[in-house]
Structure 1
Amino acid sequence: MSVVRLTYEEGTIRVEGVDPDADGGRPEPGDVLDLPFVEYDPRSKSGRAPAFRYADLLARLGREGVEYEERVFETPTLRGLASTYELRSYQADALSAWRENGDRGVLELPTGSGKTVIAIKAIEALATPALVVVPTIDLLEQWHAELREEFDLPVGRFGGGVQSREAITVSTYDSAYLKAESIGDVFPFVIFDEVHHLGGEGYREIARLLAAPARLGLTATFERPDRAHEAIAELLGPVVYRTSADDLAGEHLAPYDVRRIEVDLTDEEREAYERNQETFVSYLRESGIDMRRGSDYQELVKRSGSDPRAREALLAKQRAREIVSNADRKVEELAGILDRHRDDRTIVFTAHNDLVYRLSERFLIPAITHRTGTEERREILERFRDGTYSRIVASNVLDEGVDVPDANVAVVLSGSGSEREFTQRLGRVLRPKGDGGRALLYELVSRDTAEENVAARRR
């Protein structure tokens, strides 16, 4: 085998110098050459490998003592990077675990535990151009400001109407998806914040098209119900460090309690709930559909497009869910909670925008939903941070991707059965309290309804 030359082209690694006749015959498209992940490309008369396999190729060449020329990255060393952060013990352990795994893998730590700090120290340690990929504009702005402050250098951004590339750049997933092929040989280090988003079929292409050998994923909850986390592990590496809110509570995060309060439906709500639930359950029973199987749920959705009874069943289920989520006695219970915690900083979470506005009007609480403009949301959160507001109410928009100021009480009136959602909401009240006090999360559940099963799943 002659000297192997590696270059980056259009989301792939071009491999020259590999014997195309290694299998004894004329090479054809799809032939696997004598390096892993490399197939023959007749157009260029060379081998091709997916860009994300670049680190694996280097490792194989090194193990076999093959001489090679590496022309994928021609990037400078970033000298003088030094942040002001000092890692806590578990943060240092997480960074060490990632480095020991060849600078690849996922860190799973609870919200409020300082995942951003670990990533900043990783950038500092590698001292190489880095791309940070985030799901929202809010997170893009937060990372951009944090990196500029810590490293005192220009920081690029892809997203929010700005396309500016620097040695350290922050991008939304959407922008990274559009640019991945053209920047695949620019950043040897890529960080995926809220990495569970990478499981989406389209977003996976970002990681596939980037050649970055160093890859770090950050999340509070890695596993996805659709098992897409397995694809993420192939693209970034496995979970190399994991800790929970329970592990950190008391020393690094606030100690906390979760109080579940059951409320009864009113007679009118109960009658409407039972009627809609029966419509839904009857259709499942007659059609043989088992909602515990995700494929069966998809079958129900598919049938609803042509079967009026399937559509009515889905609508009935939605109406039943709204009844229990927005139950009047939950609102009455919330009034008592807000009264007991009038001196605390409280966030109220719901699953429905209508309830957000209802609560905002009744209790004179600032409201945040997906309809809230960026500037208005920023102003509300800033006033919550400085103490002007002591409580806010929000739909799912605050679950992820927004820098929420410290609070010590959270009230969940409604939500999904997602463990990720519950973990994110709990994390909003877990940052250490200056007075050493405990954080408290209330979970309001409608008694004798399907919501009890939903609450059990997320716990």
Structure 2
Amino acid sequence: MPVTYELRDYQHQWIKDIWNSWEKGNRRVLGQLPTAAGKTVCFAHISHKFFDQGKQVLVIAHRIELISQAAEKLSEIIGEPVGIIKAGVPANPERRIQVASVQTLSRREVLDLPMKIGLLILDEAHHATALSYRRLIEHYESAQILGVTATPQRIDGQGFVNLFDDLVVGIDTAYLIQAGYLSKFRLFATNQTISTLGVAKSRGDFRAKELAVAVTSQIGVSEILENYLKYARNLRTVIFACSLEHSRALAAEFSRNYISAEHLDGKTPPQERLEILQRFRNGTTQVITNYEILTEGFDCPNIECVYCVRPTESSTLWLQMLGRVLRTYTFKPTAVIIDITDNWKKHGLTDEARKWSLLPKTISEIQNKGLIQCEHCTHIFKPLSKELAKIEAEVDEDGVVIQHHQAICPSCSKTIDFTTIENFALPCFSRIRLRQGFSLSLTEIDLSVSTYRLDLVTDEMRKQGLRGASPTKIYSAIFIAFIENITRFTLGDWREIVKMVEPSQSAITKKAWELYKEAFERHKNRILAMSFVEQKKLKQQGSSNVATNVTTIEALGQLENSIFWEPKPQEKSSKFKKNLGDNYFKMKYKSQWFESLTYCSMLTGDFLNINAGLFHVETKDVYVNICIEVRDLPGLKSKLTEICDPAEIEYAFTQGFGKLAKVMFRLS
């Protein structure tokens, strides 16, 4: 084992805990260790003990594109060639460690290779409830099982009690950052986040096509670029988009503005994908845009920024996205996180303590209509994507398409019939939706912590005898005691206070944000109350100057300017916005736009030609989502459907684009 990969103390302890669990009779162990904490180094060390026993090790990667990365890293650590089990790659069954994807090994004939597997390692093991993983575990019945993941939880609420016997939790991310093993980070966010109101959910997260419509109708690719230039210029950046089309559009917009950017998706050929990632690693490519492809397993220490434009209900997905930027790098003193969603408030930040468990969530916690229940063994699970392919469909009396599917229960292997409802396939027109566009403005969230302020809070709690009191009572006491200086408390201070007052709190950042906002509101109310008392006093003294004094006005003004979630109403410019829509989409779909206008009435066509432009286009196999930015004229909201009849608009754009069109207007 090369000296350069000598284990750290926490890695030694993690490995020791895994061996102790095996020795207690737990054959199937799930090990949790934060992203970039060295899971690969650890299981490479573990593998050597199996080598000494004359046994081989089989590592299962979650996706095909991660095989080469895993094999290369393992070979470097172990100091010997690693076998790769993959179509088109020569087999070397004699090599002591083998790497394969679960997709490759799902083919039964591959399992018959002459190998003596003593240890089966499941990387990104939070995916391991799929039937393909269960078959592997059953096939290698004499092997020890080690699942490794940074996030041992599933979005659908399934636990791991039927798959693993024990959970070994490693060191937390906060320690790794403090010790310098992971990078410190800065967070840039905005209160005017992308709204997901009304976006349907499927299998625990937002439904992809509806999420794409919501995101792309509110924020344009040019606005995303603008904030990149402000806060991440020249930083090697991974952007998490809300759809494939969105990712492609972002890459095109960045490239058009002389920033080297490339797009990745699941259909990118393997060799091309490797070349794109290599160009990103060596700095030839500065920005990579993607949709659900670089959230797991992608190791590139010189990523300097992650830019999240994709809201999610999954804390697992959120933490995996953040994990991409935390690896240390000589020329990266601080990582940058840009989040224009509310993910950071909803799911917290990466340095928060998490409670992991093999147990499943309760049904009330899951609240997930995308799950189905096996009628044979009552197991609740989510169908695989391939199982959502429709077998047959019918239309009910209300014109709704009901699709029939079949899935295999991962618990008992029985076939389950289930149905889903799909509305987009019907050639019918709905009322055009209207969204208010916004101008994105980011602010750095102050996560610094003042030891001085925390000591004052601790002393105050001790003086008032608040130890053991309810959190509500303690927080109220803090507000009262420090009301004059309460706005100096940073979000970082409040996060530490929450940890101190509520050690079991699972949503630290969310709770801290609520207290942070309440502190400003209380301080503002105090200033107003003092102003009222002062005015009353002056009036009683017979003073002719009873207006709010200048000091109070200045204090309120400074307060409003210091808290970014209460933006002042923007004054509307008397000048028309000249360039409505987004230039990228206007040029790409120029012919379709003008073709669509020819199918509109003269009044509607003229109105759109003068007062509107394409803002975003999301194309699918049988339909297209179109967002049109329209000038916010006086009284437009009430008269829009008169000027632009919904049925006429959607018919016109269906003809112009050659696909069923769903149209949304966005006010400029």
TM-score, with length taken from structure 1: 0.64
Query: What whole-Å deviation, never above 9, does each CA across 1:368-412 have from its counterpart, x for those lacking one?
Result: 122322222222221221122222211111112433452121110
| Contact map agreement 2:299 2:324 (CA 8 A) in 1 | no
Q: Among 359, 374, 383, which residue is 2:250 paired with?
A: 359
1:329 aligns with 2:259: no
| Contact map agreement 2:63 2:101 (CA 8 A) in 1 | yes
- How is 1:65-214 mapped onto 2 (pairs within 5 angstroms)? 84-102=4-22, 104=27, 105-127=29-51, 128-162=55-89, 163-166=91-94, 167-179=96-108, 182=112, 186-214=116-144
Change (3 A) 1:360 1:226: closer
C-alpha distance in structure 2 between counterparts of 1:258 and 1:107, whole Å: 29
Q: Which residue of 2 aligns with 1:46?
A: none
1:338 aligns with 2:229: yes
C-alpha distance in structure 2 between counterparts of 1:257 and 1:237, whole Å: 38
- How is 1:273-422 mapped onto 2 (pairs within 5 angstroms)? 277=198, 320-329=210-219, 331=221, 332-364=223-255, 365-422=261-318
Change (3 A) 1:202 1:320: closer
C-alpha distance in structure 2 between counterparts of 1:154 and 1:248, whole Å: 31
C-alpha distance in structure 2 between counterparts of 1:147 and 1:336, whole Å: 38
Count of residues in Structure 1 that have an aligned counterpart in Structure 2: 332
| Contact map agreement 1:194 1:218 (CA 8 A) in 2 | yes
C-alpha distance in structure 2 between counterparts of 1:177 and 1:369, whole Å: 22
> 1:257 deviation in Å?
3.3
| Contact map agreement 2:122 2:148 (CA 8 A) in 1 | yes
Indicate the structure (1 or 2) with the bigger Cα radius of gyration. 2
Query: What whole-Å deviation, never above 9, does each CA across 1:62-108 have from its counterpart, x for those lacking one?
Result: xxxxxxxxxxxxxxxxxxx7675111222111111111112652221
Amino acid aligned to 1:114: G
Q: Which residue of 2 aligns with 1:3?
A: none
> Which 5+ residue runs of structure 2 have no aligned equivalent?
256-260, 350-668
C-alpha distance in structure 1 between counterparts of 2:50 and 2:339, whole Å: 43
Q: Which residue of 2 aligns with 1:245?
A: 173
Amino acid aligned to 1:456: K
> Which 5+ residue runs of structure 1 have no aligned equivalent?
1-80, 282-290, 299-313, 446-451
C-alpha distance in structure 2 between counterparts of 1:389 and 1:319, whole Å: 29
- The CA RMSD measured in Å over matched residues stands at 3.2
Change (3 A) 1:84 1:436: closer
C-alpha distance in structure 1 between counterparts of 2:2 and 2:236, whole Å: 35
> 1:210 deviation in Å?
1.0
Change (3 A) 1:378 1:385: same
Amino acid aligned to 2:18: W
Query: What whole-Å deviation, never above 9, does each CA across 1:218-268 have from its counterpart, x for those lacking one?
Result: 11111113444424xx44432212333233213210112333324477xxx
C-alpha distance in structure 1 between counterparts of 2:134 and 2:127, whole Å: 9
SS for the counterpart of 1:329 is: coil
SS for the counterpart of 2:242 is: coil
C-alpha distance in structure 2 between counterparts of 1:439 and 1:239, whole Å: 30
- How is 1:5-84 mapped onto 2 (pairs within 5 angstroms)? 84=4
| Contact map agreement 2:44 2:74 (CA 8 A) in 1 | yes
Runs of 4+ in 1 over 4 A off after TM superposition: 81-84, 317-320, 452-455
| Contact map agreement 2:105 2:111 (CA 8 A) in 1 | no
TM-score, with length taken from structure 2: 0.45
C-alpha distance in structure 2 between counterparts of 1:188 and 1:201, whole Å: 21
| Contact map agreement 2:225 2:254 (CA 8 A) in 1 | no
1:223 aligns with 2:153: yes
C-alpha distance in structure 2 between counterparts of 1:177 and 1:344, whole Å: 40
